[in-house]
Amino acid sequence: MLEPAIAVTMKVLDGLPSPEDLLEGRPVAPVSSMIDLDPTTIVLGVLFSSIGFIAFRYGRKMEMMSPVVIGLALMFYPFFVRGPIGLLTVGAGLTAALFVFRD
């Protein structure tokens, strides 16, 4: 039963540098492969996260579940979607969902 979980864990840990690599000063993954510092990506992430925060606050104040859930999704999806086209597509879809799924 634990074998699939162990296999997934090992696969995730496979990409990390070993302690020996760190101690011996071997290079690890460059920062540019871990985070995206493109100005367009940063602006889109901040824009849609702000819309999500406003929707979240509105949903909590009005005690409506759909703006709260969609607001949370808008606030946190920029951490998982890379690239400006993906951010724009998902952000526009979630923002449209705010208007489609109004209570």
Q: Which domain holds residue 43?
A: 3-100
Q: Which residue reads 């879809």 in tokens?
A: 93
**Total-model pTM:** 0.66
Q: Which residue has the higher pLDDT, 67 or 36?
A: 67
Burial class (CB in 10 A: 0-12, 13-18, 19+), 95: middle
Contacts (Cβ under 8 Å, ≥6 apart) of 40? 84
Alpha carbon distance, N-terminus to C-terminus of the chain:
42
Number of domains in the chain: 1
- Is the confidence at residue 66, as pLDDT, over 70? yes
- Is the confidence at residue 51, as pLDDT, over 90? yes
